[in-house]
Structure 1
Amino acid sequence: MPIRTRFTIWRPLAAAAVTLLTAAFLTPTARAAPRESLPVYSYDDAVRQAVWVDTRLDGDGDGRTDRVAVDIVRPREPAARGRKVPVIMDASPYYSCCGRGNESQRKTYDANGAVVQTPLFYDNYFVPRGYAFVAVDLAGTNRSDGCVDVGGRSDVLSAKAVIDWLGGRGTAYTTRTGATAVKAGWTDGTTGMIGKSWDGTIANGVAATGVKGLKTIVPISAISSWYDYYFQQGAPLYDSGPDWLSDYVDSPDARAKCAAVQRRLVEQAPRTGDRTGLWKERDYVRHASRVEASVFLVHGLQDLNVRMKHVGQWWDALAKYGVERKIWLSQTGHVDPFDFRRADWVKTLHRWFDHELLGYDNGIDREPMADVERHPDQWVTSRSWPPRGTRTTTLRPDQGVHPGVGALGLRKGHGAAAFTDDPRLGETDWAARIDTATPDKAGFVTAPLTRDLRLSGSSEVTVTATPTTPTAHLTAVLVDLGPDTIRDYAASGEGITTLADRTCWGVSSAGDSACFKETAPRTADVGHTVVSRGWADLGTYADAGRGVPLTPGRAYSITLDLAATDHVVPAGHRLALIVAGTDKDLIDPPADTPTLTLDLSRTSARVPLVGGARAFAAATSTAATSTATSTATSTGTASGAATTAPDASRSAPADGVRAPRPAPRIP
């Protein structure tokens, strides 16, 4: 365990570790294969080296191939003994513009240009354990040549070029412009990539090239398809495009040289939401068959920056091709596991890299595939994910016994429900008024559950809707109706509070502390929890890649993809399906203000339930327990019955967490 401290720096006793390791080799059990790498190498004496790798690209059009800057921290002793080490690599655009981690750390350098601080704990912790840490400036950022192209060829291939060099298949130089080549003779050619957000996205993209030598990736809160970062089925999720993001991280040199790249990012990413060749190039899911590396995926179930849709489609594609996988799902938003489950994270990551890069048989591959945070700091595991026995179950909305009150069950629905798009409202407003008929939503709920019901995986909602205008956007959400205490993902910190105390993870140096501020869960008491979300432009009904104007009065059918989730709706709670228009702060409104009428006989939700339809039937049986009866007194609503619009100025009530729009919008 780390030492908790405010003012002092913890430093492992390397000499003691060496003594223990030497003693182990003198015992009869020493012949057994090692199960854990130990901190036996000096961090103070580590080699700190900068090289510039030739990418064989000329993204900035200056007539010479771009070189990307690579800062290396590696133990000195193995090379002196003729031993080679594996690499842990984080390729990032953020090392100078924005920083990494909860404390926004940046790279720092000495007077000779050698790296002094690399952000996060990776070098402090893993270098003494016999790994090299490699921090790559993506093309167009910090000390690298080229241009940022936001997940495209330049981003991905500039990182891939480094892995090729580490494997002896590329060329690097001692300076940015010099001619002195340098080889990576100190590494065994095996690499693991890690990173959060854009960094983890690049790990996904590089893995999808099938590059030799990449043994594992650890993508944290990462994108799997850039189209789905900016749009969902034609519905715009942000009021800016990749050109804004590129400009945000570009180095001064890149801003001066990369106007042509910026123009392409504008011209080939139209705000119509049409899928162009630019988006196809940035879709890693379609190349999942090339992935040879294992994948340890970490994501927040309530991440509204890089949404859980990225998890579901990537995970399912990897499963299709038999990729070795592991997953952690937290209740947080866009948060690193170092900041929501620190001790377990460092231990697990250590074991994962030992197994995948050093080949240690430590049993991690035989442990449960999934860890899921069910309540703040309360975790459960699943042998597989989604769990065995999960079945896609078709749930159908229907008119209720009272006007404007909708039900959700297994039987085919009938009749209609109508709502008018109100861009002032969103999912938390709809859920808070689920038991009141309002004109801005169509809501359908089950009876109070008599048993727990677990959703695990991705859902989809098919609607047949008749609009009154040529443009219309749709939202579908699944909601757990009932009281709970959750991580407050909508607040500052997205589910964590940063504390003053620090804990230390590895060895510190004069310019690079291994001690980081601790965190604690930031919680909220709620009356409902949004479980899964999905959006679409109804104009993409015939082609998800291209929207067209609608004919008012004509019925259109479309299937909305809902984000993956893992959530238990407890006995006594109700499960709700809400269909509405603009989801405030999460999608942008259409050009018009449509009223849409749903044909309930042709509207349904396909939901992954553990136990399938049988579990749903058992959980919604009429033999309600006294607890369930006391929890809810109404079966829900369908829209259109109320004549008074809800108060749009009302803030999110205490029983809901308002979904935030990330700012600034960087993945």
Structure 2
Amino acid sequence: MNRLSFPVLALLLFAVSPLSGADVQIPVIKDGEAQIIKELEDSDYWIRHDLWVETEFDLDGDGKPDRMHVAVTRPTQTDTQSLKLPVIYNSSPYFAGTTGDDETYFWDARQELGDEPPQRSAAPAIEREGTRPIISKRHVKDWLPRGFVVVHSSAPGTGLSQGCPTIGDDPEALAPKAVIDWLCGRGKGFTEPFGGEPVEAYWSSGKVGMTGTSYNGTIPLAAATTGVEGLEVIIPVAPNTSYYHYYRSNGLVRHPGGYLGEDIDILYDFIHSGGNEETQAYCDCHVRDETMKPNQDRATGDYNDFWSSRDYLNRVDGVKAAVLMAHAFNDWNVVPEHSIRIYEALKKNGVEAQLFMHQGGHGGPPPISMMNRWFTHYLYGEDNGVENDSKSWIFREGDERTNPTAYPDYPHPWAKDVLFYPVAGAPERGGLQMEPAQEASAETLVDNFSFSGEALAQAEYTEHRLIYATPKLSEPVHLSGTPRVKLRIACDRPAANLSVWLVSLPWNTSKHSKITDNIITRGWADPQNIESIRESKPLVPGQFYDIEFDLQPDDQVIAKGQQIGLMIFSSDRDYTLHPTPGTKLTVDLQQSQLSLPVVGGIMSFEAED
């Protein structure tokens, strides 16, 4: 029985192909980059067609290997001149449409810590976008005129691809692997989702590069972890490299910025656009309800095997392709640790890797010239020296996006950890100094999710946070790396949220200011997971515990005249669960500290006022 609902079309293989195409030189390479070829800018001379590539898995339970819907856009010359060209490949679960901005089915963040959450509402149906054969037009105008074939595919369980969404599990790596195998002559392609005539990628050189942003950037990394032959280079932009790190933080239930109440089962519903009613019901039952909901654990936020299987750091040893990671230090949707942790692992494994980072928010690819050098080198074999370029490229504050600053590596090799110790000052502002306080002191805050982090950081007087600041900086201070806090805390209840921000003070309140002007970085943790990320242990009220954890990585220059502030509070209104206000956290200041990665180390602070 046909499980895939789609219009019956007379032509399942659609192509636009003129009778003849001008003979042109492909590629044209100058200064190490593939140049735009005028003849290839005319879309009338592109060939477009779609097909289905067979995978090695059967997610929808019909007893047949699932097939992925694939769309190809290539120059006419691949036929008229029998050219074999390299491929830029982009895969996504979003191409066919999503549930959109309707967040009424998200989990309610108003939940007591440790309690099972109340049931959520059912997700609205997805109205599928787009029609065959064009899955997407992204990347075509950038790369086809430069002499590349551009291929798109819909992820499992989305659009006209068969199967179910599994959100980060094996099939999301095996699906693009199957497409790459087909592009390299090893896989099976067909004109139809069931049966059909074989389709070969005779126009492919067997060299494939992948890129994409966010989920579309996760998939290239997933494919690369399989070690599939022919995938030569990937450029993931803001990739989600671990779904635990996306939805949890050090044992704490934490939501991605802008999506309070989202969790992995919500994302499943958000993208599940494929199949008919029967296959959708099968996937909902076996994947979402029997696998995701019981294992995502919104009560404790603990790590488990379910989350481990969706962490690409555990699979990074399989990566052979060269990797240009791209991310933003102020991305609070997919936080920057997602790329930094993979970059560091790739370096240890000897994989050719570089890092492009900027100061903006979610998304933002490297300059196209940089991407071009990578694709031209690894897909066309041009000896342009890209592998010898600087390892780290950072778009500095106030600079043009196309002109990132080159550094030997990230973190900056000159960065050294400098320790700071809090000095009492609550409910106003205390100090941060480089020597521990001589006398024991402790300060208490009262949890209340009603107040945003921004409001707490700006408040002159409040019991809902503790804040400690350095003296004003007499010179700019360059932070590069991962700040870390060590706190000795006690709580009057068995559970509490713990949130920490680093901020630049005074707060910029001008009408042109952005949140990124003042928030240096952030971090969250569950004090119940001090001993193990896999097992929560209720706190003994009144007992002090030592908790130590990383904040998000950063590379930022804090301006002269500013102060660096450490803010400690409990529930972070935009990110954590919202328990009933009133929980009290007490911090032992003498046994607490902040470690900052400072370029130049302690010498950078010696001239402070």
Normalised TM-score (structure 2) = 0.83
The match for 2:382 is: 360
- In the TM superposition, residue 274 of structure 1 has moved relative to its aligned partner by 1.6
The match for 1:399 is: 423
Distance 1:324 1:484, change over 3 A: farther
The match for 1:648 is: none
Distance 1:66 1:349 in 2: 33
**Contact residue 412 and residue 481 of structure 2 kept, 8 A:** no
> Does residue 217 of structure 2 align to residue 200 of structure 1?
yes
Distance 2:432 2:184 in 1: 56
- In the TM superposition, residue 137 of structure 1 has moved relative to its aligned partner by 0.5
Distance 2:427 2:454 in 1: 23
* Superimposed CA distance per residue, residues 296-331 of structure 1 (whole angstroms, 9 cap, x where no aligned partner): 222232222111221332222222223323333233
Distance 1:244 1:401, change over 3 A: closer
SS of match in other structure, 1:469: coil
**Residue type matched to 1:563 in 2?**
Q
**Contact residue 33 and residue 372 of structure 2 kept, 8 A:** no
Distance 1:362 1:43 in 2: 29
**Residue type matched to 2:534 in 1?**
G
The match for 1:374 is: 397
> Unpaired runs of 5+ in structure 1?
1-16, 101-105, 338-343, 489-522, 625-667
- In the TM superposition, residue 66 of structure 1 has moved relative to its aligned partner by 0.6
> Does residue 413 of structure 2 align to residue 389 of structure 1?
yes
User: Larger relative contact order (C-alpha < 8 A, sep ≥ 6)?
Assistant: 1
> Does residue 291 of structure 2 align to residue 255 of structure 1?
no
**Residue type matched to 1:83 in 2?**
L
**Residue type matched to 1:36 in 2?**
A
> Does residue 127 of structure 2 align to residue 118 of structure 1?
no
**Contact residue 477 and residue 579 of structure 1 kept, 8 A:** yes
Distance 1:405 1:391, change over 3 A: same
> Does residue 74 of structure 2 align to residue 74 of structure 1?
yes
Distance 1:324 1:45 in 2: 36
Identical positions, percent: 30
**Matched pairs, number:** 545
> Does residue 302 of structure 2 align to residue 277 of structure 1?
no
**Residue type matched to 1:262 in 2?**
R
- In the TM superposition, residue 188 of structure 1 has moved relative to its aligned partner by 1.6
**Contact residue 431 and residue 528 of structure 1 kept, 8 A:** no
SS of match in other structure, 1:375: coil
**Contact residue 107 and residue 118 of structure 1 kept, 8 A:** no
The match for 2:330 is: 302
- In the TM superposition, residue 405 of structure 1 has moved relative to its aligned partner by 4.3
- In the TM superposition, residue 205 of structure 1 has moved relative to its aligned partner by 1.6
**Residue type matched to 1:423 in 2?**
F
SS of match in other structure, 2:44: coil
SS of match in other structure, 1:563: coil
**Residue type matched to 1:118 in 2?**
S
The match for 2:565 is: 576
Distance 1:241 1:99, change over 3 A: closer
Distance 1:447 1:606, change over 3 A: same
**Contact residue 292 and residue 323 of structure 1 kept, 8 A:** yes
The match for 1:36 is: 34
- In the TM superposition, residue 221 of structure 1 has moved relative to its aligned partner by 1.8
1:43-54 aligned at under 5 Å gives the runs 43-54=43-54
> Does residue 462 of structure 2 align to residue 443 of structure 1?
no
Which of 307, 313, 316 is the aligned partner of 1:288?
A: 316
Q: Relative to structure 2, which stretch is displaced further, 301-310 or 248-257? A: 248-257
Distance 1:375 1:210, change over 3 A: same
Which of 551, 559, 577 is the aligned partner of 1:588?
A: 577
- In the TM superposition, residue 586 of structure 1 has moved relative to its aligned partner by 1.5
> Does residue 474 of structure 2 align to residue 417 of structure 1?
no
**Contact residue 328 and residue 336 of structure 2 kept, 8 A:** yes
Distance 1:294 1:237 in 2: 32
Q: Relative to structure 2, which stretch is displaced further, 34-43 or 308-317? A: 34-43
**Residue type matched to 2:562 in 1?**
H
> Does residue 491 of structure 2 align to residue 472 of structure 1?
no
SS of match in other structure, 1:556: strand
**Contact residue 140 and residue 147 of structure 1 kept, 8 A:** yes
Distance 2:185 2:514 in 1: 55
- In the TM superposition, residue 257 of structure 1 has moved relative to its aligned partner by 2.8
* Superimposed CA distance per residue, residues 205-236 of structure 1 (whole angstroms, 9 cap, x where no aligned partner): 22222222111111112111110111111221
Distance 1:539 1:406, change over 3 A: same
Distance 1:216 1:183 in 2: 22
SS of match in other structure, 2:48: strand
- In the TM superposition, residue 527 of structure 1 has moved relative to its aligned partner by 10
- In the TM superposition, residue 286 of structure 1 has moved relative to its aligned partner by 2.2
Which of 603, 610, 628 is the aligned partner of 2:599?
A: 610
Distance 1:45 1:470 in 2: 67
Distance 1:34 1:224, change over 3 A: closer
Distance 1:401 1:260, change over 3 A: closer
The match for 1:267 is: 294
Distance 1:99 1:126, change over 3 A: farther
**Residue type matched to 1:425 in 2?**
F
Distance 1:47 1:99, change over 3 A: farther
SS of match in other structure, 1:353: helix
> Does residue 134 of structure 2 align to residue 131 of structure 1?
no
- In the TM superposition, residue 452 of structure 1 has moved relative to its aligned partner by 1.1
- In the TM superposition, residue 154 of structure 1 has moved relative to its aligned partner by 1.9
Distance 1:282 1:136, change over 3 A: same
- In the TM superposition, residue 144 of structure 1 has moved relative to its aligned partner by 0.6
**Contact residue 389 and residue 612 of structure 1 kept, 8 A:** no
**Residue type matched to 2:137 in 1?**
P
> Unpaired runs of 5+ in structure 2?
1-21, 101-127, 256-260
Distance 2:129 2:425 in 1: 63
**Contact residue 395 and residue 408 of structure 1 kept, 8 A:** no
The match for 1:174 is: 191
Distance 1:527 1:228 in 2: 21
Distance 1:390 1:473, change over 3 A: farther
* CA RMSD of superposed structures (Å): 2.9
The match for 2:230 is: 213
**Residue type matched to 1:385 in 2?**
D
**Contact residue 193 and residue 203 of structure 1 kept, 8 A:** yes
- In the TM superposition, residue 590 of structure 1 has moved relative to its aligned partner by 4.3
**Contact residue 471 and residue 592 of structure 1 kept, 8 A:** no
Normalised TM-score (structure 1) = 0.76
SS of match in other structure, 1:349: helix
Distance 1:592 1:544 in 2: 25
Distance 1:350 1:108, change over 3 A: farther
* Superimposed CA distance per residue, residues 496-521 of structure 1 (whole angstroms, 9 cap, x where no aligned partner): xxxxxxxxxxxxxxxxxxxxxxxxxx
**Residue type matched to 1:119 in 2?**
K
Distance 1:539 1:33, change over 3 A: closer
Distance 1:405 1:108 in 2: 55
Which of 333, 340, 346 is the aligned partner of 2:368?
A: 346
**Contact residue 251 and residue 526 of structure 2 kept, 8 A:** yes
